[in-house]
Structure 1
């Protein structure tokens, strides 16, 4: 776990990253950018053959981005700026060849691109209520578990109505939306490790590959097959 005074962007040029803070886990597949504001305790975890790039932002640029963790799609221009800033050593402070003023201008271009991008639904919020935490532990360990909310509620001593209210008030989504997000995160990890679409679908709890493909495409923006092929080409 670590914390920085400056906010920072983490880019997955290839592979899959997870950035965990007290607010939850940002899932960062290839060509996404995760934003972590300054002062947030966090840690990074890489899955598969991952090329991680980090860019720290000055307060003047950081204040233009959200005051909470977020994930954005990297435009072609944003991607090229990130690669230019980080260079072969993967860290913007170590890049030779750019003056301080030049780096500042590139940072501004990058921030402008992210402000124009839509936030990706790839942030999995972390529950605070003990009952939700118990349910989350079960599903983290076994994402293929298809127990209903009522069945899970009986194991933690809470009614479906209470748990539904807690999911909406604490996490801003329904139980089924949260579980789908969790399963997509696990799916990205499995795909990064070389599993195929069919294996991944069943391992993450989908009844058939077609329903998995539809859910994956709706959140990630491309099919699992195209995602794996694009990741291998980068």
Structure 2
């Protein structure tokens, strides 16, 4: 579904990523783990075209997308949920969803507001509420739902559990597992190892813009040395 190799990116003269490589298979959830400033968010932004890669290849469903503008990448079926959420605070839940609406490709079941309200029941109960009058957890759900209205095949989720109450984090994990059951592929960046363990098939660890480890979640949880070296604060 997604194959990244030799990816490099920078902000001005500051080199952020170097030789980043990772893969996501169809229907798989892969987590990109690392400390603050490791390059997780920049990796997702580079894949989405929001940060121009300075080197490397990014292939999505067999097509090279490195260097393409974000709107073209989105039309190919790649969705992006930013860490900052970026909902339209003056628009209602329904209006936010309509902003993201795109027709589903042939043979793909469309995400509709009603399907999304089944996934996130709290959104259905406040469909006419402005986004600015919602809690952080509700806004996170709305951001994911709006992205799904674009009918993606793979979703990039940037720090979905950050700043959320434990009960909301649990609901977010349930939603991600439900999306996986629907056949959606997901690449998420995350610092919450407990959350990552609950939803992910595989993990990739990044440190100082370079991939340091990758493997199954079970292997990571069994290796205290790797967790201590790259993930402890």
Q: Structure 2 length normalisation: TM-score? A: 0.30
Between structures 1 and 2, the one with greater strand share: 2
Compare CA radii of gyration and give the structure with the larger one.
1
Between structures 1 and 2, the one with greater helix share: 1
